[in-house]
Structure 1
């Protein structure tokens, strides 16, 4: 026997043993990806779009949440359709610009928004962004339960029961344990956001007046006041908020989109924006009878008061559709907003974060959804809370928190080291920069007129 040669050769190293085990999360995402590749290979465009659609529709209809629909109703009841219909359309254009950048960022980097901020800017700015998100999400989540409670009150359901059923449905959605199934279930529920369209038809809106408002952009009735600027900020906060960036980017990653899917991601986001804009304008139109009949909504306690006040003008059916729409708005938004917090916390702590996880594997992820949901539900049941004021204020706060979130987004999508050829063009930067500028200017103006009401001469 030759020296150095063993009589029994050593076995080759088991390379598979050194690799991490394939998880259920990996299997489910790979299965979904195989369907996408098959549809693209067969050039089945509609099938491909159906498979890739979801994050854009959910984020846009999810942002048509309880406080947003109350803001739109307050707008219609206070100012009619003249100035605010084209203004709301503009805010949805802004939302599309922001979320299109979000789609590209997630599809190219395969990283969530919180994770990228920590990696590119360090812990200080990472925790700053997380604080921005957590404050906004908790406040907004509370208002979603206000909407659920309000819708229930219209039907005579006790507040505690509406809140309990709402919380149970949100937590039950976690039992699906697969992102694709969860997404489709929420999309089916989100379709009921369009209930505001038939509700508006019961108000018999003038199509010519709507078209004229969009084309001519009528002057501000009553001039610029603190109430007018507050509603402007509430309507911006009803369409462009930090949680949308965090949610859609993480959802794009969880769904498994790649750079090849950016086109379909844009279509998904644009379609969601169109649906949400139609529902928003319908809500304004549905509430205009209150404007026409000089009904003062300043003392309304919640969305239930809007439905009740609209019953003489929309009829029982129209008011019922309005109340059901408020409930849907709160439910879908609560599901997406609590999930965005769970995604962000998982990315920050490097814990596993996916709706494809089992509960044992995603304790922090699912626990975040459960704790935040129960906390918001309990806050809403505090006696004597100023619900309508809180609802409108949350959208104003969302607008103020949006500027730093947008700055992080712009910096990331301009980072060619991670984005390559998919980095922002000068046109995208001009659009994004203009949105940041508008939000900063209106925020400063709001602060000045709040601190010094005499500036407006009112």
Structure 2
């Protein structure tokens, strides 16, 4: 954020005009990390199996994910605490534990699958041993969080979000049926095929995921520690207008980037794989391999490169959000802005989560099967987390005069209903 023109907080201050790159922060990184290799696999499967007709979900979910992420960010900025930190101050400790522990388990499975996809993508591009690449990427992700100063680490995450552009680039090397694309995007399709509804549920679970709530709230709280002229809004309400405008813009752009990239992936695989009848896609790397004979080696290279870039962004976010959640629930000292010696348990959780996820790739456990159970856990955890999120955001004892307004309440509760419906859909399609 840009500096105030006067340092005396008691004086009337006028903020200088912020630059866009300074505004974009937790919202952009959160949105970019949503398109992790596991998410890429989901969107690739959607495009390969059903063509363009699943695209409408990305318009439908956009206002819902914007609302829930904006609420998460406002809780962090207003209270100076992450979501789990606010949760344990409002509810019994068992509530926080029952939510944060499953969240950490799901995150570990997810980041393990992401590391596996990154290793396979590196093998596709460079040959060599995929498991060695998995171990190398795991070590790099931990070192980024432990060794880099917070400001520099945030800058690295912002630059890594540019990896998403690779999926936009693929649209320029494939032939898109723009009429069917427009129809699929603007006209929701309802089919009796249970596999189709399983895919819709998977897209919902990928775009609206609990780890994103915890990450964005915690990073808003972290930013306050790095910006001495800013304080939590309950203590300095005069900062509210500017802070909420920044959060709104950051979240709108971050979530738009996430869904635009998801749309590009569905469109690319619909235009190539579905059109050629190649519908059996198990992972993001399978998609990259299958695209090559249809769209050329350039499409394969940028698709596989995107898997590595988004993985380097998503794996630290998955490990970090889990560590924030568990650490805040346990009332440890937490934060990437702290030195490792100040927050030993927090950094140990980051390292352990990444190590366990990495080691999953050395076991006989099938990554896609593990991801299914990760999605189940996330789906079960998401609904109570979102309900608690809404209750905190409308609680005047916590938020003071900054309880969320009418439109955020409407879309926030709609998000809860939509996610609950997705969980029911997931249960129905899994067992019937």
- String of CA shifts for 1:385-417, please: whole Å, max 9, x gaps: 323343455345423321111011011001011
Alignment of 1:330-409 (within 5 A): 330-383=311-364, 385-391=365-371, 393-409=373-389
Runs of 4+ in 1 over 6 A off after TM superposition: none
Alignment of 1:121-200 (within 5 A): 121-155=91-125, 156-200=127-171
The structural deviation recorded for 1:344 is 2.0
The structural deviation recorded for 1:424 is 2.5
Kept in 2: contact 1:143–1:391 (CA 8 A): yes
Compare 367-376 and 344-353 and name the one that shifted more: 344-353
The structural deviation recorded for 1:204 is 2.1
Q: In structure 2, what is the equivalent of residue 9 of structure 1?
A: none
The structural deviation recorded for 1:116 is 1.0
Please, which of 393, 399, 402 is the counterpart of residue 413 of structure 1? 393
The structural deviation recorded for 1:177 is 4.1
Distance 2:99 2:4 in 1: 35
- String of CA shifts for 1:176-214, please: whole Å, max 9, x gaps: 443221111111012112211112321222344333332
Distance 1:135 1:224 in 2: 33
Q: In structure 1, what is the equivalent of residue 236 of structure 2?
A: none
Compare 277-286 and 339-348 and name the one that shifted more: 339-348
Distance 2:159 2:114 in 1: 18
Q: In structure 2, what is the equivalent of residue 26 of structure 1?
A: none
Q: In structure 2, what is the equivalent of residue 427 of structure 1?
A: 407
Kept in 2: contact 1:177–1:356 (CA 8 A): no
Kept in 2: contact 1:114–1:347 (CA 8 A): yes
Alignment of 1:208-287 (within 5 A): 208-217=179-188, 219-220=189-190, 223-256=191-224, 258-259=232-233, 260=240, 261-287=243-269
Distance 1:109 1:145 in 2: 34
Indicate how the Cα distance of structure 1 residues 394 and 350 shifts in structure 2: closer, same or farther if over 3 A, else same: closer
Please, which of 73, 78, 82 is the counterpart of residue 44 of structure 2? 73
Name the SS of the counterpart of 1:282 in structure 2.
helix
Indicate how the Cα distance of structure 1 residues 263 and 379 shifts in structure 2: closer, same or farther if over 3 A, else same: same
Please, which of 286, 293, 309 is the counterpart of residue 305 of structure 1? 286
Q: In structure 1, what is the equivalent of residue 227 of structure 2?
A: none
The structural deviation recorded for 1:68 is 0.6
Distance 2:72 2:329 in 1: 18
The structural deviation recorded for 1:175 is 4.0
CA RMSD of aligned residues (A): 2.1
Distance 1:226 1:401 in 2: 23
The structural deviation recorded for 1:225 is 2.6
Name the SS of the counterpart of 2:40 in structure 1.
helix
Name the SS of the counterpart of 2:154 in structure 1.
helix
Q: Is it true that 1:44 corresponds to 2:25 in the alignment?
A: no
The structural deviation recorded for 1:143 is 1.7
Kept in 1: contact 2:42–2:202 (CA 8 A): yes
Distance 1:177 1:363 in 2: 16
Structure 1: gaps spanning 5 or more residues: 1-31, 453-458
- String of CA shifts for 1:427-457, please: whole Å, max 9, x gaps: 32222222211222232233234333xxxxx
